[in-house]
Amino acid sequence: MNAAEPPASGRVVDAAELPQLLAAAGLEAADVDAVIQRALAEDIDGGVDVTTVATVPVDQRATLELRARQAGTLAGVPVAAAVFAAVAAADGARVHLRTDHWDGDQVAVGAIALAITGPVHVLLRGERPALNLLGHLSGVATATHAWVLAIAGTDAQVRDTRKTTPGLRRLEKYAVRCGGGTNHRMSLADAALVKDNHVVAAGGVRQAFAAVRDRFPGVPVEVEVDSLDQLVEVLDAGADLVLLDNFTIDQLRQAVQITAGRARLEASGGLSLNVAQAVASTGVDYLAVGALTHSAPVLDIGADLREEDGSAAGD
């Protein structure tokens, strides 16, 4: 399998393939492993899984199926697989991974995202961290996809912000991509965003833009404005990306007319799905939606343990 291609439906995924699959998704295996190790350490807290150790024979094997209990957009399947691979490696055990769906897929209720076969001790120890990550990332992807559908037929794109969970930014922004959205800057070093506090400190919006352009000439500069007068000012200064903060629909239309293609425009400030189409139809290039990451509901994904005889052992 080419590293840039997701596994085919029903494919068994070797744990050794996971770094390649993560890299193909734009994720660093080391970063993902760091998140996984923190999640596992938090869950075990230096002890053992007392319930499983007491009730499950150490040599018992089964298959754990991660099933969607809601329809939505998947994100984080290789991350969930990496959780079980990490637990198995720590135990000197092996797990067999099978995926029926992959990141970016639209799934119906009952769809199996991932099936893991191996020692039950491994399956139960990895279950909750894997579900937490898979459900959260799929929730972000599902929320993003709803926005993408809401602005369909326009030339605008929905874009995330830095309003992400500390430590999970790369994963959450990956989930946005799975849902069809576009990423804004990953860090403060990637691009400049001149906001109101920078404007106050610099003595004006034009001065703030000029200061960034002079100090970091190769860095993309976006400038936040809250009036049409400020928009004209930054356009005359040479800004090529402008954030229109809390503009009304009519003001957005005026901003597009004034700009006349001289810069890209991004609408921001309390946007909601019920106004998404109207905002996108004004002609802006981007809709900045912090809610994609800071308010996305978790997609409900459950875990069903299948014993060797094929019967369900609950979740």
Would you call 263 helix, strand, or coil by DSSP? Answer: coil
Alpha-carbon torsion angle 33, 36, 37, 40, nearest 10 = -160
- For the residues 270-293, what does the mean pLDDT come to? 97
Q: What is the pLDDT of residue 274?
A: 96
Could you tell me the residue range of the domain that residue 115 belongs to? 11-140+300-306
Reduced to 3 states (helix: H, G, I; strand: E, B; else coil), residue 151 is coil
| 135 and 243 in a common domain | no
Is the residue at 2 inside a domain? no
Is the same domain home to 73 and 24? yes
Q: Work out the pLDDT band at 12, boundaries 50, 70, 90.
A: confident
Q: Which residues contact 35 (CB under 8 A, 6 or more apart)?
A: 79, 133, 167, 168, 171
pLDDT of residue 174: 97
Give the mean pLDDT of 304-310: 74
The β-bridge partners of 106 are 73
pLDDT value, residue 2: 33
Q: Report the alpha-carbon distance of residue 50 to residue 274 in Å, rounded.
A: 48
Find which of 3-12, 80-89, 211-220 is predicted with most confidence, using mean pLDDT. 80-89
- Dist CA 105 CA 121 (whole Å): 30
Please report the pLDDT score of residue 262 as a whole number: 95
Residues 19-78 have pLDDT tens digits of: 999 999 999 999 999 999 999 999 999 999 999 999 999 999 999 999 999 999 999 999
Q: Is 173 assigned a catalytic role?
A: no
Structure tokens at 274: 């019920």
User: Do 167 and 189 have their domain in common?
Assistant: yes
In a domain, 312, yes or no: no
Whether 136 is covered by a domain: the verdict is yes
Catalytic hit among 127, 224, 266, 285:
224
Q: Is 46 helix (H, G, I), strand (E, B) or coil?
A: coil
Catalytic residue among 128, 213, 264, 306: 128
Catalytic residue among 11, 162, 163, 213: 163
> What pLDDT is attached to residue 268?
96
Is 224 a residue of the active site? yes
Please determine, for residue 217, whether its predicted confidence score (pLDDT) is greater than 50: yes
Whether 5 sits among the annotated catalytic residues: the reply is no
Distance of alpha carbon 276 from alpha carbon 255, whole angstroms: 17
In a domain, 257, yes or no: yes
Give the tokens for residue 235: 């356009």
Res. 5: pLDDT tops 50: no
Return the CATH number at 203.
Answer: 3.20.20.70
Tell me how far apart the alpha carbons of residues 278 and 10 are, in angstroms, rounded to a whole number.
Answer: 41
Assess whether 76 and 180 both reside in one domain: no
Whether residues 15 and 125 share a domain: the answer is yes
Chain centroid offset of residue 104 CA: 11
Question: Per residue in 123-154, pLDDT tens?
Answer: 999 999 999 999 999 999 999 999 999 999 99
Q: Considering its fold, how many domains does the chain have in total?
A: 2
What average pLDDT does the segment 225-229 reach?
95
195, 213, 253, 306: the active-site residue: 195
Strand ranges in 57-201 using DSSP code E only, listed in sequence order: 61-68, 72-73, 96-99, 106-107, 112-119, 157-159, 192-194
Structural domain contains residue 284: yes
**CATH number for the domain harbouring residue 27:** 3.90.1170.20
Options 33, 65, 103, 245, the catalytic residue = 245
On whether both 119 and 233 belong to a single domain, the answer is no
Q: Which two tokens stand for residue 212?
A: 């960034």
What is the token pair recorded at 9?
Answer: 């439906």
Q: Which residues, 6 or more positions from 280, have their beta carbon under 8 angstroms from its beta carbon?
A: 150, 151, 154, 155, 156, 287
Q: What is the largest CA-CA distance in the chain?
A: 73
